[in-house]
Amino acid sequence: MTPSRNHLFRAFRDAIPAMDKALVIHPDGGIETYADALALSGRLANLLVARGVKPGDRVAVQVDKSWPALALYLAAVRAGAVYLPLNTAYTLNEVDYFLSDAQPTVFVCRPQILAEAKALADKVKVPCVETLGADGVGSLTEAAAGQPEAFEDVERGPEDLAGILYTSGTTGRAKGAMLSHENLLSNAAVLRDDWRFTGDDVLIHALPIFHTHGLFVASNIILLSGASMIFCPKFDAGEALAMMGWSDHRPTVMMGVPTFYTRLLDNPGLTREATAHMRLFVSGSAPLLAETHRAFETRTGHAILERYGMTETGMNTSNPYDGARIAGTVGFPLPGISVRVSDPESGRILGADEIGMIEVKGPNVFKGYWRMPEKTASEFHDGYFITGDLGKIDGAGYVHIVGRGKDLVITGGFNVYPKEVESEIDAIPGVLESAVIGVTHPDFGEGVTAVVVAKPGASLTEEAIHGALDGKLAKFKLPKKVFFVPELPRNTMGKVQKNILRDTYKDIYRNVA
């Protein structure tokens, strides 16, 4: 293996087409070149080392999306550290757990929480706290300005970690998925080739960069193609359509969660003409309704390319670039990746069209959960990672996802594990028990919905539940609606029948715009 195939940053460096080419384009048209990326990430890498970061150390980051935040990711990789981005919606209570578990050397937070972050860092023994604001300003960038640009990238092997992403478990306890240089590099290279990315591409990047989709799929592909991306702080359908009409840095590709596409469809500006210069629309992180796929194709002539992946594996399957992109399917296994379906009870490998547990094997599959060797071992089946998604592979080889074995709720592209929300609700005085389900929502894909049983004599209201949960959980995990019932439906084994609840409440968000 050549070094560039081992080291994520070296591969990015080797892909730079010209130093004065734009890597990041701001929505106002300003640019950051590849030379700027080398310079800022070099300064930040020197700063991280000066702050005591050694190879293998974690650099935890909970900041808004910005150009310096992207450079910080590159800096951590260059310094041989493990980049650990955290969802900006996580509360301090949740961050406490992540910092205690991951024990980073540096924690970079938003300036507005500095005092609380410092107190937390003292408690959990994180030696250094820096700030970085949405405007790209903070103690981090101020200190980096005094550092040299030149930085010798720290050697790393393919098995060494480049990132950790936390993902919630069915038990409610988040697990850190350890991703190596090889995991990230192999997946970005496969996707670049499969989706035909070149240096001529300009991506509309409106995803957050604390999640695998926006960071390890979108940003890594652009870096590995020597291409450019318009870095939007958040998705806005009107803005995205306006960008598609730019004459300079005209976009060619958009990646999004299904919500982006339903919002575009709601905008009368979405037409064949408006999208004429786009070559590709990619969707993932949650199921894209076949109806959305069809409506988008009718309006624009573009068949959205749906792919399937997860934090632990990066991308596993994709509808074809050339060939039929079938609505309601997630396409074929990507090159070098094996996908199979097994019987969840017996482990027997199933044949075409038989529904079971989707399992994945390949260079994309993570190195395990941080400091949880037993949990890691239990999630593998003869070398295949057990995804927790139920599905089938049809006779033509297309993978279909039919449900989520782990009862995950995906709202606006973010995962919510019911158990975690249920535990918080159950702790509220007056609550006997609760069940949290995902209910089809026109805007979010699914809306988190709680069904609560009160203790005899207790009088509870939806407002009281909301009030008690506020600040305990990230906003996206909070139930959009709370219902009260005398008892939860259960099967003979005593398990709550969530399918019955989903059916009962299936229309509650129908008229929510």
Positions that interact with ligand AMP (CB under 6 A) = 167, 212, 284-287, 306, 308-311, 330, 387-389, 401, 404, 408, 410, 415
Q: Which amino acid is at 436?
A: V
Q: Which is nearer to ligand AMP, 24 or 310 (CB)?
A: 310
First and final C-alpha spacing in the chain: 53
Q: Which is nearer to ligand AMP, 231 or 366 (CB)?
A: 366
The minimum distance between CB 432 and ligand AMP, in angstroms, equals: 30
Cα Rg of the chain, angstroms: 23
CA angle 139, 145, 147 (to 5 degrees): 110
Q: Which is nearer to ligand AMP, 162 or 165 (CB)?
A: 165
A 10 A CB-CB count for 394 gives 12
The minimum distance between CB 307 and ligand AMP, in angstroms, equals: 6
Integer angstrom CA distances of residue 236 from 201, 232, 242, 256, 278: 21, 9, 10, 11, 17
Q: Which is nearer to ligand AMP, 145 or 402 (CB)?
A: 402
Q: Which is nearer to ligand AMP, 285 or 376 (CB)?
A: 285
The tokens describing 215, both together, are 């960071």
Q: Which is nearer to ligand AMP, 147 or 440 (CB)?
A: 440
Q: Which is nearer to ligand AMP, 126 or 410 (CB)?
A: 410
The minimum distance between CB 309 and ligand AMP, in angstroms, equals: 6
The tokens describing 16, both together, are 């730079």
The minimum distance between CB 106 and ligand AMP, in angstroms, equals: 25
Q: Which is nearer to ligand AMP, 181 or 213 (CB)?
A: 213
The minimum distance between CB 359 and ligand AMP, in angstroms, equals: 12
Exposed/middle/buried for 262, CB within 10 Å: 0-12, 13-18, 19+? buried
The minimum distance between CB 306 and ligand AMP, in angstroms, equals: 5
Contact 177, 428 (CB under 8 A): no
Q: Which amino acid is at 294?
A: R
The minimum distance between CB 462 and ligand AMP, in angstroms, equals: 28
Contact 8, 185 (CB under 8 A): yes
Residue ranges of the alpha helices (H) in 167-270? Answer: 181-194, 212, 220-225, 237-244, 258-265
Q: Which amino acid is at 104?
A: P
Specify the 3-state DSSP secondary structure of 500: helix
What distance lies between CA 138 and its chain's CA centroid? 25
The minimum distance between CB 213 and ligand AMP, in angstroms, equals: 7
